[in-house]
Structure 1
Amino acid sequence: MSNNRVGGVIELKVDSTIYRAKGNFTYNLGRGKRDAVLGADGIHGYKEVPQACFIEGEITDHREMSLDALLDLTDATAYMRLANGKAIVLRGAWYASEGTGNTEEGNIGFRLEGMSAEEIA
C-alpha cells in the first residue's frame, strides 16, 4: 500500500528538545535566488543572491518548555520530519524570532535560521 500523504503532521526537534509544532510551517534550504536583470532592450540574464535557510512556524508553549532557553539558542541542529516522509535538517542554527507568546492558545512564534540546510528523502 502506498502512502499518498503530502501534508499534515510534522515532528520538530532541536538538538535533544522536541517542540510542539502548531499549524503551518515553512522552510527554505537557503539556495541562491535568481532574479532577472532587465535592460531597456529586454532581459540581459539573471543575477543570483543568497537567501537565509530557515524553518518557521508556531509552537505551543507548555510547562516544561523554557522560553529563555529558546531565546538563547545558538549553534543548534534542527530536524523537521514532514508528513510525506522527507526531513529538513538545519545546522548551525539560531533562534531568529521575537519570542512573543499568545495566551489564547499558548502559541509562540518560532523561526530558526542557520548556516546550512539539507533535504533528506
Structure 2
Amino acid sequence: MAERVGGIIYLAINGVNYQAKGAYTYNIGRPKRDGVVGHDAVHGYKELPQVPFIEGEITDSGKMALEDLLDLTDATVTLQLANSKVIVLRDAWYAGEGTGNTEEGNIGVRFEGISGEEVR
C-alpha cells in the first residue's frame, strides 16, 4: 500500500492558520554531534545545542499585517506535514527578514524557538 510522504502542509501561529507555500524545512533542536579527532584516533564526540526552527514561505494575503509577523515573540508555531506528523515550536519568535515578493505575493518566514518537538 502506498503511503503519502509529501505534499499538503498546514502552518499555524498561535492557532491562526497561514497560507503556506513551497518547500519548508524544520529542525526540532536536538543536540548536534561532531566527532573529536586527535592525532592518534577518533576520541569520541561532542554535542552542541541547535536552535529549533521552521522555515518556508507564506502567501501575503490582504488580511495579514507584516508588522504583526515581524513583532511576533513568545508564540507557538505548528507545521502539519502531509504524513500526519506535526512539528511544534514553543516560545518562538519571527527570525526572518520580512522581505516580500510581489510576483506571487509571498514572504519568506523563519521561526525559531526555545524548544521543538515532533508529534506523531
Give the TM bin, normalised by the shorter chain.
over 0.9
Count of aligned pairs: 120
- Number of the residue aligned with 1:75: 74
1:62: how far off? 1.0
- Number of the residue aligned with 1:27: 26
1:3: how far off? 6.3
- Number of the residue aligned with 1:9: 8
- Number of the residue aligned with 2:97: 98
1-side partners of 2:70 and 2:43: how far apart? 44
Q: Structure 1: which 4+ aligned runs deviate by more than 2 Å?
A: none
1-side partners of 2:37 and 2:90: how far apart? 36
2-side partners of 1:47 and 1:67: how far apart? 40
Q: Does 1:18 align with 2:17?
A: yes
What is the RMSD of the two structures over their aligned residues, measured on CA atoms? 1.0
1-side partners of 2:73 and 2:11: how far apart? 16
2-side partners of 1:112 and 1:72: how far apart? 12
2:45 maps to amino acid: Y
- Number of the residue aligned with 1:118: 117
- Number of the residue aligned with 1:37: 36
Identity over aligned pairs, percent: 63
| 1:17-44 Cα shifts (integer Å, max 9, x gaps) | 2111111001101000000001111211
Gaps of 5+ in 2: none
1:16: how far off? 2.9
Structure 2 SS opposite 1:74: coil
| 1:27-72 Cα shifts (integer Å, max 9, x gaps) | 1010000000011112111000000000001111110011000000
TM-score scaled by structure 2? 0.96
2-side partners of 1:3 and 1:83: how far apart? 13
